[in-house]
Amino acid sequence: MAAMSDTLETSFLDHVTGNAAYSAPSAVFLGLTTSSGGFADGNTGTEVVGNGYQRQAITFNASSTSSIASNVAVTFPRSTAGQGTVYGWGIFTAQSGGDLLYHGMFSSSRDVLVDESFYVASGAISLTPSGAMQGYAFQNWSNLVLRGTSWAMPTSLYMALDRTNATIGPASASFTVLGGGTFDEPRWHDWSTGTVTHNSTGTADQQNAKRRAGVVNGSAETFGGYQRCRLAYNAASNGSASLAYSVTRDDGLWDNTAARNGNWDSTNSRRQNWGKTELRTWTDRVEFPIAGNDYPVVGAETTPPYGSGVGYTTIIGWAVVTGLGVVTGSYTPTSGKNYGEITGWGIFDAETPQTGNLLFRGAFPSAISATDLHDVVRIPASNMALVAA
């Protein structure tokens, strides 16, 4: 089994979290160790030295989402004297000195006697993803480190909730992720049909069915109260990156910065100025919006039959007080809405649900039951620290 060194783990976490881009070495070199435990993460272990020994250049095939392997046989120089028993290998950034990148053990040890050459077959050095790292991240990272193939830092990270193997809650809404397998994100308000009535000509409720949708724009509104949460991480240290803060895209609030009007916003598929996204920042947790069931009308046209004709005065909560304090009615979807049973989490490089590349994935120790109206899902920040393996 192969592993990243401490140095490379830090570089990986800083790269994937957007803290510091990794600069790949121009070439990598295979080294040998006589330590029975092999090279360790901290680059401890005794490397073969002297008697004709020298690290050798090694190259790799393009990575898949599940593995990367060497594509050339490596023959070390013939020994001028015994070099000891070789147990493991390491990949370094230089022929001498440099940083240890990856390390592992050979399937069996071998004594290198005088006038012998240590031989490593093509494909014998291989790596596979481990821990929470997913296939997409492994493929791009290993290609970057071992082959110099460009992989730009993700611009932002987003946490998603996973319902894979859930036994309670809405029907499946899974989608396929790169590297194999599926991810099942919670549906929005109306998971039973996938839509709510929302158009430019119907009743006031129909015209405003998405106003609490945690709007991004147009199509993204169809995910309603559930939105992925943006994550920002501190620089990595000791093989781990702690969460600096998270940002919740909360349910849409009234936009008090613009004049109210009843004109239709075709770009965002809603009445103009009938909804605004509220961003909330947390340093102690990741919090997903309330899975609401009751969606009060936050306003109406200023002329009858949907408005009082006196304009908007004061907004209290999710309702509008007009005139002498008359509050508009509520829009209530036809069936109860909830997140369901949450079994795990994923970190993606895109905000819109069911899109982007899955970088990390994990399961909660026990499922989170968010099956009641107005449930909020909160994950402590300490639970979202990232490790490289």
Mind giving me the DSSP string for 234-292? Answer: PPPBTTEE-EEEEEEEEEEE--TTS-----EETTTTEETTS-EEEEEEESSEEEEPP--
Burial class of residue 258, CB neighbours in 10 A (0-12, 13-18, 19+): exposed
- Predicted local distance difference test score (pLDDT) of residue 373: 60
**What six digits make up the tokens of 304?**
């009858």
C-beta of residue 218 within 8 angstroms of C-beta of residue 259: no
- Predicted local distance difference test score (pLDDT) of residue 341: 87
SS3 at position 87? strand
Mean pLDDT, contiguous 10-residue spans, the chain (389 residues): 92 97 97 96 92 98 97 97 97 97 97 97 96 96 98 96 85 80 72 39 45 35 63 95 88 45 58 55 87 38 36 33 44 51 94 90 92 79 92
Domain ranges of the chain: 3-132, 157-387
- Predicted local distance difference test score (pLDDT) of residue 340: 79
- Predicted local distance difference test score (pLDDT) of residue 115: 97
Q: Which residues pair with 296 in a beta bridge?
A: 330
Buried b (16+ CB within 10 A) or exposed e, 29-44: bbbbbbbeebbbbebe
- Predicted local distance difference test score (pLDDT) of residue 346: 97
- Predicted local distance difference test score (pLDDT) of residue 319: 37
